[in-house]
Amino acid sequence: MACVIFIDQFTALNEELSRRREECIQLKSLLASRTKDSIETAKESYGGNAEILNEDGELASAYQTLKDVNRVLQRDLELEKSGYKRKELELRATIEELKKDNNRQQDLIGQLNKVASNLSMSPEQAMQNALQFEIQRLMSENLDMREKCDQLEDKVRKLKKAVKIYSNRLKEHGVSGNSEGVSSKGKPEEGLEEDEEEEMGGKIKYQPTKNYMGMLEYKKEEEAALVKHLVTDLKPRVAITLIPTLPAYILFMCLRHTDHLNEDSRCKTLLTNVINGIKKVSKAHQDDIETLILWLSNTCRFLHLLKQYSGEKSFQVENTELQNNHCLRNFDLSEYRAILNDLAVWLYQGVVKTAKEHIHPLIVGALLEYEGIQGLSSKPSMSRQRSSSHSDTLEAPSTPEHCFENLIKTLSSWVNLMRTHGFDTLVVNQLFKQLFYFIVATAANNLLLRKDMCNWSKGMQIRYNLSNLEQWLRDNRLHECGAVEAMEPLIQASQLLQARKTAEDVDSICEMCSQLSVAQIIKILNLYTPVDEYEERVPISFIRKIQQTLKEKRKSDSSNPQALLIDTKQFFPVMFPFCPSSIGLESIDIPSVLKLGFLVRL
């Protein structure tokens, strides 16, 4: 109430200030018109003789008087204005104090309500409520600390980037600056990821640009050796030490030389052999996710380079003048761009397929069986043996705790590997959205088939495990990729297990479970099995009422899923948005580890 009164007073003071300003403006205009009238009157009284108009200095006197009046009015206005500003600040400070006091009182009322509700509860319920409150408090504190940590990491990242940029500028101007030493001193702890640009800046070996045209010359008989050393025999452990997507840059620089010579046959042969080589090495290592990630990143970069240097205006917006001079002169490779796009989609699907095979044995143990909140369950969960068609690929760990740790460790290693290889952020986001959809679909389908998982304490454990996955997404800057939305079905299933199941809660449960089908909701309620004495089974009448309410609300909603199990094989369409490179072709040097000494820089 006090806040409203102060706000009203503040509004009234502002209106009074506006009114005073308008009055000053009116007074000034009135004085101006009076002055004009007096001058005309004076002219008429002196017979229109302007020379004797100011004979006695009366105009100067009148002007000085007007100035004095204006000065007084201006001073009064300033005093009023400063007074209103001071009052405004005082009112704002009072409002803030009242808001804080109101929040403190609300918290106190909430605590008193909880104490009053705890007094009417059984000891077991009171303990569970206390545990839930403590968990929420700790999670809130953890989120605050994570946010501060992210801010500090961003600051460190920006400072490192600035150091590397200045170090490279010193090198270009002939000053011996040891950027590696700077990087090593400023290197953050292990686990702190760097942006793609930082990694490029730290690994690129810049050379003087004035003597090179950004092309690589090779003889026709050396083409097989080029594809062999750069594609077929390149190992991921070697590629990870190079500039991200360096093979793509080298191949494009060779392609530029064929365009410079206007040799159409050599250009087509090179592109065909490179595409066939990537397919061959990817098929030979289809179970090796590092190899698939390596060639997906290089294929995407090669595709972007063909667009960036195609000469088309739409792809030259971010190019420098020198990059525009390096555009292809003789060949239109739009047909090969389509082929490379299809190859990138095929490699992306291979990465997703292999990733699914690696994490499939970990999902149930990590999300359903792992008890992150110790002592919450009344009886130990029965971890049963799961059969999997992928059991030969990766043997499931013996305990759910190991499953959860290995799942987090595996996902972290993949996201680090993708960023090290220079993956575009949008591609990483799409890939992890697809993986999290698979993780949630697999876990939810198992939950719908296991009666021992459908109880209140297990719902709390599942929600806690999912919150840890959400935190992992935030830590790795993936929380906006769509993965959180993909987790909604399992989140709502865990909330359904924790919700009260009385007739008054029917509508709220129906609203809460918007991402679950009617069959899934009914199945979970039928499977719900109390594990404590004070819990009751879900009445059949309640289940029927839920079913009837859901059918009435969703009869016109064709978009809502109707199946019991979620389709784990659903594949979201993938896109590779154009991502130009800021690296000049003339600045790239070829490391000796690639064994490409026969290439000649031009």
For 399-427, how does the pLDDT look when each residue is reduced to its tens digit (9 = 90+)? Answer: 888 899 999 999 999 999 999 999 989 99
Q: What is the mean pLDDT of residues 19-48?
A: 74
Q: Does the pLDDT value for residue 231 go beyond 90?
A: yes
The pLDDT value given to residue 272: 94
Percentage of the chain modeled with pLDDT above 70 = 81
Decide which of 10 and 267 is more confident.
267
User: Where are the strands (E) in 513-584, listed by range?
Assistant: none
Dist. CA 406–CA 408, nearest whole Å: 5
Phi, psi torsion values for 262, nearest 5 degrees: 60, 45
Contact 507, 469 (CB under 8 A): no
Phi, psi torsion values for 288, nearest 5 degrees: -100, 105
Dist. CA 536–CA 500, nearest whole Å: 11
Contact 441, 568 (CB under 8 A): yes
Q: Does the pLDDT value for residue 393 go beyond 50?
A: no
Question: Given the structure tokens 């059918």, which residue do they identify?
Answer: 551
Dist. CA 404–CA 366, nearest whole Å: 4
The pLDDT value given to residue 182: 37
Contact 490, 530 (CB under 8 A): no
The pLDDT value given to residue 503: 86
Q: What is the mean pLDDT of residues 453-457?
A: 89
Q: What is the mean pLDDT of residues 110-128?
A: 69
Residue 191's pLDDT band, with cuts at 50, 70 and 90, is: very low
Residue 439's pLDDT band, with cuts at 50, 70 and 90, is: very high
| Amino acid letter, 126 | A
Q: Which of 133-147, 464-478, 501-515 is predicted with the least confidence, judged by mean pLDDT? A: 133-147
Q: Does the pLDDT value for residue 397 go beyond 50?
A: no
Q: Does the pLDDT value for residue 487 go beyond 90?
A: yes
Decide which of 364 and 130 is more confident.
364
Q: Does the pLDDT value for residue 264 go beyond 60?
A: yes
Q: Kindly write down the DSSP assignment for every residue of 239-280, as one continuous string.
A: HTTSSTTHHHHHHHHHHHHHHHHT-HHHHHHHHHHHHHHHHH
Dist. CA 129–CA 138, nearest whole Å: 14
| Amino acid letter, 141 | E
Residues 49-92: tens digit of each pLDDT: 555 555 566 667 777 787 888 888 888 888 888 888 888 888 88
* Helix/strand/coil for 600: strand
Q: Does the pLDDT value for residue 448 go beyond 90?
A: yes
Residue 584's pLDDT band, with cuts at 50, 70 and 90, is: confident
Q: What is the mean pLDDT of residues 44-53?
A: 56
Spatial CA neighbour of 522 closest among 505, 534, 540: 540
| Amino acid letter, 195 | D
Percentage of the chain modeled with pLDDT above 90 = 39
Provide the whole-model pTM.
Answer: 0.64
Q: Which of 5-19, 148-162, 183-197, 504-518 is predicted with the least confidence, judged by mean pLDDT? A: 183-197
Contact 410, 359 (CB under 8 A): yes
Domain ranges of the chain: 2-44+59-119, 123-185, 200-347+578-601, 425-575
